[in-house]
Amino acid sequence: MLFLLSLCGCGKSAYRYTYTDVFDTVTTFVLYAENEKTADALAEKLHERLAFYHRLYSIYDTFDGVSNLRTVNERAGETVEVEREILDLLTFGKDAFVKTNGKVNIAMGSVLQLWHEARDATKLPSASALAAAAVHCDIENLLIDEAAQTVRLADPAMRLDVGAVAKGFAGERLADYARELGIDSALFSLGGNVVAVGDKGGEPFVIGIEDPRDLQSYTKKVAARDLAVVTSGDYQRYFTLDGVRYHHLIDPATRYPAPFFQAVTVVGADSGVADMLSTALFLMPQDEGAALLATFDGYAAMWTDANGTQILSDKFEEILYNQR
């Protein structure tokens, strides 16, 4: 999660809106507008759009008249007609699997559900249960028919979990919608996903990156113009058992929480890609992550390792606010 630092834009005032009813996190809009009435109207439209994505992408909740990802999971083995926005997200998710060498797998819901239950019970899932669930994580069994606008999970025991990409993907779509509404200066924060639209009257937005072991402070400040800043960390959802922290970022290769980092922050032009990369980089050693990052032009990363040491990519150094 990132702490927002915002000041009034040139010729406009800043209006802040906070919501707790979308994507199971605290969501904040900071809009720069001529007056409060204009900002209120824009915020309402933006919130409605984000709530629309929330309803579609939820794997936990049902909504009247909505075929969402929970519907797809519950009807595994069947062909389900869905909204175009679901097809777009799932197509992005399948592409993410390829681009991250399988580290981001939206078909891993059966394994992730065991860890969700483990957090609730403060009890580790058994290795045998994890192994049995992992049999049902083959993303090739996610069948998308663009023409018919349908989805089918060919394995009836397979379950989708889009937590690694959904907020970032939705945040990018929200930024696109904001631009369609004529907004040229705004910040959107969906938990650990921040998207900057434009800048503040010619000056960059300043986004503070939280210290993963002291959430009341931040360790770095990033200067952002039309950029996304996304953090994945071990401090967002976890439980502690026998002195060991078990977080929610599960390595598909081991089926256990990745041990390498406290947090990974990725900055780049697309929030969905940054979300995907922050997860993938968290799940692999830093040298492997750096090699993967190099294949994504214009993206930067900061790793905070298990000891709290920070490692910054060259491009990340370039966007630090304290160097400007």
pLDDT tens digits, one per residue of 31-83 = 999 999 999 999 999 999 999 999 999 999 999 999 999 999 999 999 999 99
In tens, the pLDDT along 197-232 reads 999 988 999 999 999 988 788 899 999 999 999 999
What CATH number does the domain containing 316 carry? 3.10.520.10
Q: Give pLDDT, residue 10.
A: 57
Calpha distance 281→100 (Å, rounded): 9
Q: Give pLDDT, residue 7.
A: 47
State the sign of the Cα–Cα–Cα–Cα dihedral 125, 129, 133, 135: positive
Is a pLDDT exceeding 90 seen at residue 271?
A: yes
Q: Tell me if 80 is assigned to some domain.
A: no
Q: Tell me if 56 is assigned to some domain.
A: no
Tell me the mean pLDDT in the region 310-322: 91
Calpha distance 147→194 (Å, rounded): 33
pLDDT-based confidence at residue 108 (cuts at 50, 70, 90): very high
Residue 296 lies in domain: 2-40+183-323
Q: How many CB atoms lie within 10 A of CB 44?
A: 11
Q: Tell me if 205 is assigned to some domain.
A: yes
Q: Tell me if 253 is assigned to some domain.
A: yes
- Which pTM was predicted? 0.94
Residue position matching structure tokens 């990363």: 301
Tell me the mean pLDDT in the region 235-246: 91
Q: Tell me if 227 is assigned to some domain.
A: yes
Q: Tell me if 298 is assigned to some domain.
A: yes
Q: Tell me if 220 is assigned to some domain.
A: yes
Residues in the chain, how many?
324
Tell me the mean pLDDT in the region 293-297: 97
Q: Give pLDDT, residue 191.
A: 86
The mean of the pLDDT values for the chain is 94
Q: Tell me if 170 is assigned to some domain.
A: no
Q: Total structural domains in the chain?
A: 1
